[in-house]
Amino acid sequence: MYILCKGWIIVILLCSFIWRANTYKAEQSEFKHTQHILYCLV
């Protein structure tokens, strides 16, 4: 159950990140920050 919830959180983060990346392509720092959060979750 915990893994399932964790998986959904990652999916939501990825979707929001992809949307943000398409909206703000110039923000490199945002990409690195999001990548750091994803590494912490995994």
Query: In the prediction, which pLDDT does 30 show?
Result: 65
The residue-averaged pLDDT of 14-27 equals: 74
Alpha helices in 1-42, H assignment, sequence order: 2-23, 28-41
Q: What is the pTM of this model?
A: 0.43
pLDDT per residue over 22-42, tens digit each? 776 655 666 677 777 777 766
Higher pLDDT, 28 or 4: 4
The residue-averaged pLDDT of 4-26 equals: 79
The residue-averaged pLDDT of 2-13 equals: 81
